[in-house]
């Protein structure tokens, strides 16, 4: 199974995402803002990162860019999960390196499918 970092400043969102992924056997790590997420990404090197866009200190777009531009981290799968539904945000998120752009509330099966595809592509 995968090690997944959830970076979201909303405790409710982190709990909801965790409740979908933990039963699948994944190891879940949480971060409450972008700076904490970046520290954990560098030290733990998770398989997949789920990012909110609007977070204190470092936003999801910038984190995506940092992950994909760091050679030792560029293999990490990125799912942006946000309440921002505009097509321009989706376009920009994918341009910054995200593999998937989902909007809240994401259907659990859609999130699971993205995780499974990222895991298959990394093996």
Q: How confident is the model at residue 109 (pLDDT cuts 50, 70, 90)?
A: very high
* Banded pLDDT at 123 (limits 50, 70, 90): low
Question: What is the pTM for the complete model shown?
Answer: 0.94
Query: Which tokens hold the place of 36?
Result: 């904490």
Q: What are the boundaries of each domain within the chain?
A: 3-122
DSSP 79-99: EEEES---HHHHHHHHHTT-S
Lookup: tokens for 75: 């293999």
Question: What fold characterizes domain 3-122?
Answer: Rossmann fold (3.40.50)
Predicted confidence (pLDDT) per residue in 21-54, tens digit = 999 999 999 999 999 999 999 999 999 999 999 8
């Amino acid at each position: 199974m995968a090690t997944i970092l959830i970076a979201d400043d909303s405790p409710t969102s982190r709990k909801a995402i965790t409740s979908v992924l933990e039963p699948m056997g994944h190891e879940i790590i949480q971060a409450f803002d972008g700076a904490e997420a970046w520290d954990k990404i560098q030290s733990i090197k998770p398989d997949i990162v789920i990012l909110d866009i609007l977070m204190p200190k470092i936003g999801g777009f910038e984190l995506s860019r940092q992950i994909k531009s760091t050679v030792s981290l560029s293999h990490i799968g990125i799912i942006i999960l946000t309440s921002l539904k505009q097509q321009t945000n989706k376009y920009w998120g994918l341009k910054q390196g995200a593999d998937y752009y989902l909007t809240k509330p994401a259907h659990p099966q859609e999130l699971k499918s993205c995780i499974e595809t990222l895991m298959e592509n990394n093996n």
